[in-house]
């Protein structure tokens, strides 16, 4: 890495820490420079302004893409095992890094979601191993169009992560186990 690239990366790491802790509006360019160990004016050698820094941080560190990367590492011998493993792995990640969703909320609340389309264009995997596994288990699931299936699976998993984040770890037993959630995801809520 060149010195410029190293400084740029320090700025992004510092901005990320501040954005998840204090939000976009609560983090000044001076705060970012101080955290990065550089003079405030030096930031402008790398970025045009705070919003450009936020966009770069958001694209690089967006939790959805981290979640998708985690899903790529999950395996299972059948659909139920795969989804149970996915939910357990994502819950473990959330417990190990409680700020995982903060950047997501900063984007929605303070930035009106305007960086999401670019982040998806830049980072969304076009060839997901997790989804390949699901499609290989097609005989275990209903005949559902692939985009709908992807949306339902990822949406449900993200909803579970957010719900656990809101209620906290201490109350999660009251709201059901991962096995129960997987059962509802796989079989729905209607009686057969």
Buried b (16+ CB within 10 A) or exposed e, 151-182: eebbebbbebbeebbeeeeeeeeeeeebeebb
The helix, strand and coil proportions of the chain, stated in percent and rounded to the nearest 5, come to 75, 0, 25
User: Could you give the CA distance from residue 69 to residue 125 in angstroms, rounded to a whole number?
Assistant: 9
User: Could you give the CA distance from residue 119 to residue 43 in angstroms, rounded to a whole number?
Assistant: 22
Between 69 and 63, where is the model more confident? 69
Least confident piece of the model among 9-18, 74-83, 102-111, 152-161: 152-161
Q: What is the pLDDT of residue 126?
A: 67
pLDDT-based confidence at residue 185 (cuts at 50, 70, 90): confident
5 pLDDT above the threshold of 70: yes
**Considering only the top CATH level, what class is 3-49?**
mainly alpha
User: Could you give the CA distance from residue 188 to residue 178 in angstroms, rounded to a whole number?
Assistant: 15
pTM: 0.72
170 pLDDT above the threshold of 70: no
User: Could you give the CA distance from residue 16 to residue 33 in angstroms, rounded to a whole number?
Assistant: 12
CB neighbours of residue 120 within 10 Å = 13
164 pLDDT above the threshold of 70: yes
Give the angle subtended at the CA of 111 by the CAs of 105 and 116, to the nearest 5°.
75
User: Could you give the CA distance from residue 172 to residue 57 in angstroms, rounded to a whole number?
Assistant: 31
Q: What is the pLDDT of residue 55?
A: 92
DSSP category for residue 27: -
| Mean per-residue pLDDT, 38-56 | 94
Q: What is the pLDDT of residue 18?
A: 96
Q: What is the pLDDT of residue 25?
A: 96
| Mean per-residue pLDDT, 127-137 | 81
């Amino acid at each position: 890495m060149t010195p410029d690239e190293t400084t740029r990366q320090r700025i992004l790491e510092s901005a990320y820490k501040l954005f998840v802790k204090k939000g976009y509006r609560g983090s000044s360019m001076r705060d970012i420079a101080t955290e990065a160990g550089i003079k405030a004016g030096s930031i402008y050698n790398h970025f045009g302004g705070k919003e450009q820094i936020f966009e770069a941080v958001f694209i690089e560190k967006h939790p959805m893409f981290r979640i998708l990367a985690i899903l790529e590492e999950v395996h299972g011998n059948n659909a139920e095992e795969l989804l149970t493993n996915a939910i357990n792995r994502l819950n473990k990640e959330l417990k190990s890094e409680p700020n995982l969703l903060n950047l997501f909320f900063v984007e929605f609340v303070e930035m009106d979601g305007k960086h999401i389309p670019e982040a998806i264009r830049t980072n969304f995997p076009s060839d997901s191993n997790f989804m390949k596994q699901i499609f290989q288990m097609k005989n275990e699931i209903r005949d559902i169009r692939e985009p709908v299936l992807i949306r339902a699976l990822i949406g449900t998993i993200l909803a579970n992560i957010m719900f656990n984040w809101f209620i906290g770890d201490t109350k999660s037993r009251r709201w059901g186990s991962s096995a129960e959630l997987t059962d509802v995801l796989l079989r729905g809520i209607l009686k057969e």
